[in-house]
Chains A and B, each alone.
Chain A
Amino acid sequence: MKGYSLETDDNARKAPVRLVVVQGESEPAVDASDEPQVMSMPHLFLREGIALVVLSLGLVLLAIFVDAPLEEIANPLKTPNPAKAPWYFLGLQELLHYYPPIFSGVLLPGLVVLALVVIPYFNVNLKREALWQTRTRSKLAYLWASVAALSAIFLFTGAHPVWPIVLPLWLVAVLMTLPALYPRRQGAIAWLGDRSLAFWIFLWFLLASVALTVIGVFFRGPGWQFTLPWRDGIY
């Protein structure tokens, strides 16, 4: 090929042209702190080994004493009631009770995944500053205006009020407000006051997903009617 040649030379200092990349302020991690270090062999590997054995033992005991479910052969003509997806999808299936599939099956989970992906690229509060350090009054107003708007959306736009989303929202909002109303220097309220906005949003997502999933798994029966697991069993 014309114009292409291997860079060979007897002088190793010249060829190939060496390139050194020095990253700013990089230093060996070992020197980064004077905290105590231990050898990975054996201290880390011992712990990993124990964790692996405990996990395996737990799963083996479970596999010995609890059988995986196996129902009769698949029959497209016989729809079970209720027809439930695996547990990690039951939060979404529970949402189907409130919103049409386009929203509960596609848009909302899509938005949640998108939110998870962009969280670290979001410039809002990456340093996780405490929420009430500055402009307490206007932030409180923003917070409760947002809570009111979100509550209105989830209470009135669905086929039923979406309590599994609204109640966690209110809980989170109250916990967020406590440090603003009763400032403390230490203790539980001070800890709440140190949390960031990202923490609270994630907590709301988490509590709402758990609530939806628990309801979908334990509290829904035939026709997706509300049931009590201790009275009617788990469907």
Chain B
Amino acid sequence: MARTSTRYRWIADAVLENRVFRSIFRHGFADSNRNRSLAVFSNIFLHIHPVKVNVRAIRFTRTYYLGGLSAATFLILVVTGIFLMFYYHPSAPRAYDDMKDLQFVVYMGPFLRNLHRWAAHAMVALVLLHMVRVFFAGAYRPPREFNWVVGVVLLLLTILLSYTGYLLPWDQLAYWGVTVGTNMADSMPVLGKYTKFLLLGGTEVNENALLRFYVLHCVVLPFFLVLLLSVHIWRVRKDGGIYLGEAGEEKPDAEPEPVAPEPEPVGATRESVR
């Protein structure tokens, strides 16, 4: 591609126009619409997005980015959670001792635990708000009805993840919070007793329960969450991106202010983009 040379162009060229970079990304700097498209659909992480989006779809006040932020909190939780796993033993009373170590011995331990805790609460809240927003937008209706169901299951998984994590510090708060919850499961007719036994690995909250909650919290539930989250996002794309209202249901308000400069012709320089 012929480029008008500019003062610092050679730096970009040195980094972007060599065999190694091109073997990884296969396209040049995202300064033309062709390269911007390639940046999206030749990248496994970005290709969950369309190449082009409606300006109404990316406005903050349409979605408040609640779904994306829920996913972001999950990312934070995975990272902090892995760090916490390095310092944690799922056995009593060792689990509680590990909390004290995190508090007083481990470098930045309190920060790690705090961040995990607050991100967990934020995730439950964001997922709930996301559901409310989607409902009031009417996005749950056909053809998206099954994705709404997937979303409900994702909400339940989020709550279960938070709830199983709640027991792990093995302090009074954890123990009695979980006891209150499992006693509710106990009251289920016929199945209650078995559900409680299956969940706790016993008839009361003890070390077996701690181990089960740990495995559920760190392996089983995150696995299903990632699985269903992939389905959830994939289906949003297959239904044409985020819901923008039915045709004619909502007129785009008088001339939405342009958020972008006019697309420049292929082969334009970065100078012209500025």
| Residue positions of A touching B, CB distance < 8 A | 29-30, 32-33, 35-45, 47-48, 51-52, 55-56, 59-60, 62-64, 66-76, 78-80, 83-89, 92-93, 96, 100-102, 104-106, 113, 116-117, 119-121, 126, 128, 199, 202, 206
How many interface residues does B have (CB within 8 Å)? Answer: 91
| Pair A41/B30 contact, Cβ less than 8 Å | yes
Lowest 9 CB-CB distances: which A-B pairs, in order? A105-B184, A120-B145, A101-B187, A74-B175, A63-B114, A68-B117, A63-B115, A83-B176, A71-B172
Residue of B nearest to A110 (CB): B188
Residues of A within 8 A of B184 (CB): 92, 96, 101, 104-106
Residues of B within 8 A of A66 (CB): 114, 118
| Contact (A67, B114) CB under 8 Å given A74-B174, A86-B162 | yes
| Pair A38/B187 contact, Cβ less than 8 Å | no
Measured in the bound complex, the distance between the Cα atoms of B61 and A47 in whole Å is: 12
Among B1-9, B133-141, B222-230, the stretch that binds chain A is B133-141
| Pair A45/B173 contact, Cβ less than 8 Å | no
Residues of A within 8 A of B265 (CB): none
Residues of A within 8 A of B58 (CB): 38, 43-44, 47
Measured in the bound complex, the distance between the Cα atoms of B142 and A59 in whole Å is: 36
Residues of B within 8 A of A45 (CB): 46, 49
Known contacts A56-B76, A106-B185; can you find 8 more A-B pairs with CB under 8 A? A40-B52, A45-B46, A56-B72, A73-B171, A89-B163, A113-B152, A120-B142, A120-B145
B 101-130 binary contact with A (CB < 8 Å = 1; else 0):
001000000110111111101101000100
| Pair A88/B159 contact, Cβ less than 8 Å | yes
Tell me how far the C-beta of A107 lies from the nearest C-beta in chain B, rounded to whole angstroms: 9
Within 8 A of A (CB), among B14-72: 30, 33, 36-37, 39-40, 46, 49-56, 58, 60, 65, 68-69, 72
| Pair B117/A39 contact, Cβ less than 8 Å | no
Measured in the bound complex, the distance between the Cα atoms of B183 and A96 in whole Å is: 11
21 A-B interface contacts by CB (under 8 A): A38-B58, A38-B260, A47-B58, A51-B69, A51-B72, A59-B122, A70-B169, A70-B171, A72-B171, A74-B205, A76-B175, A83-B176, A85-B180, A86-B166, A88-B159, A101-B184, A102-B188, A106-B187, A120-B141, A120-B142, A120-B145
Tell me how far the C-beta of A218 lies from the nearest C-beta in chain B, rounded to whole angstroms: 16
Asked if B241 lies at the interface with its beta carbon under 8 angstroms from chain A, I say yes
Contact of A71 among B55, B138, B173 (CB under 8 A): B173
Residues of B within 8 A of A113 (CB): 152, 156
Contact of A40 among B40, B96, B189 (CB under 8 A): B40
Residues of A within 8 A of B258 (CB): 36
Residues of B within 8 A of A36 (CB): 54-55, 256, 258
Measured in the bound complex, the distance between the Cα atoms of B46 and A48 in whole Å is: 11
Tell me how far the C-beta of A61 lies from the nearest C-beta in chain B, rounded to whole angstroms: 10
Contact of B204 among A30, A76, A84, A116 (CB under 8 A): A76
Tell me how far the C-beta of B184 lies from the nearest C-beta in chain A, rounded to whole angstroms: 3
| Residue positions of B touching A, CB distance < 8 A | 30, 33, 36-37, 39-40, 46, 49-56, 58, 60, 65, 68-69, 72-73, 76, 92-93, 96, 99, 103, 110-111, 113-119, 121-122, 124, 128, 132, 135-136, 138, 140-142, 144-145, 148-149, 152, 156, 159, 162-163, 166, 169-181, 183-189, 192, 204-206, 240-241, 247, 252, 256, 258-260, 263
Tell me how far the C-beta of B2 lies from the nearest C-beta in chain A, rounded to whole angstroms: 22
Measured in the bound complex, the distance between the Cα atoms of B72 and A63 in whole Å is: 16
Residue of B nearest to A47 (CB): B58
Residues of B within 8 A of A126 (CB): 141-142
Contact of B187 among A51, A89, A105 (CB under 8 A): A105
Tell me how far the C-beta of A63 lies from the nearest C-beta in chain B, rounded to whole angstroms: 4
| Pair B181/A83 contact, Cβ less than 8 Å | no
| Pair B51/A84 contact, Cβ less than 8 Å | no
| Contact (A38, B93) CB under 8 Å given A64-B111, A102-B187 | no
Tell me how far the C-beta of B224 lies from the nearest C-beta in chain A, rounded to whole angstroms: 17
| Pair B142/A38 contact, Cβ less than 8 Å | no
| Pair B76/A43 contact, Cβ less than 8 Å | no
| Pair B50/A40 contact, Cβ less than 8 Å | yes
Measured in the bound complex, the distance between the Cα atoms of B128 and A15 in whole Å is: 50
Residues of A within 8 A of B136 (CB): 199, 202
Tell me how far the C-beta of B228 lies from the nearest C-beta in chain A, rounded to whole angstroms: 14
